[in-house]
Chain A
Amino acid sequence: DIVMTQSPDSLAVSLGERATINCKSSQSVLDSSDKENYLAWYQQRPGQPPKLLVYWASTRESGVPDRFSGSGSGTDFTLTISSLQAEDVAVYYCQQYYSVPPYTFGQGTKLEIK
């Protein structure tokens, strides 16, 4: 199984400031045939199901604000929130869908307001 490891486990950022969450996979999730990184990011607000934010490592899901951006390739990925808003308080998960089964998720990063 591909193991996904996120850092940090928790993060406190001031409103309007940048938040950066990292995700590392135990093996590459870059498919050499289509040159896509099979990596997604989800947001889970308290009491809610996960919501897909980014897929193919850097493509925003429809309706996701452009302050959210994904980057990286191979085994190292980053989710950046350029200007933190109050509604961004949540737990964020990365997920690989390259080598399935199983789909695997990172352990989550809890984002709070400083």
Chain B
Amino acid sequence: QLQLQESGPGLVKPSETLSLICSVSGGSISRSNYYWGWIRQLPGKGLEWIGSIDYTGSTYYKPSLKSRVTILVDTSRNQISLRLKSMTAADTAVYYCARHEIRTPMDVWGQGTTVTVS
């Protein structure tokens, strides 16, 4: 059974760079059909897709976040990572990783990790 697990610092200072890892178990991240995405949920708010990557490293990002976001894949560790620079209080959120195919919904989600900017 495929499982995704996010990890990273729970607290980040303003202006710093957030680094998160999504570890994938129960399946290979190198399956050619799949993308691995990052989605966040602001406190008491809805869901915001940040960006996605496939096993070759092909990425696409939300245009309004593109200048601050980097998503990378490490197939040897079966992980993807998210870097979000110049963090502000507005980036405080629960960050999820999830699996999807191109132009399909997210069918497997991690439990999420809470990030506070303060």
Contact = CB atoms under 8 A, between A and B. Distances in A.
A101 B112 CA distance: 22
Interface residues of A, number: 23
B104 A97 contact: yes
A108 B46 contact: yes
A97 B103 contact: yes
A107 B46 contact: yes
B48 interface: yes
A104 interface: yes
Contacts, number: 54
A92 B40 CA distance: 16
B109 A100 contact: no
Q: What 8 A-B pairs have minimum CB-CB distances, sorted nearest first? A: A40-B105, A49-B109, A103-B49, A102-B62, A105-B47, A107-B46, A101-B60, A108-B46
B110 interface: yes
B96 interface: yes
Contacts of B100: 97
Interface in B33-68: 37, 45-49, 51, 60-63
A58 to B, nearest CB: 13
Given A49-B110, A50-B106, A101-B62, 5 more contacts: A49-B109, A102-B62, A104-B49, A105-B48, A108-B47
A29 B112 CA distance: 28
Nearest to A62: B107
Given A101-B60, A101-B62, A102-B63, A50 B103 contact: no
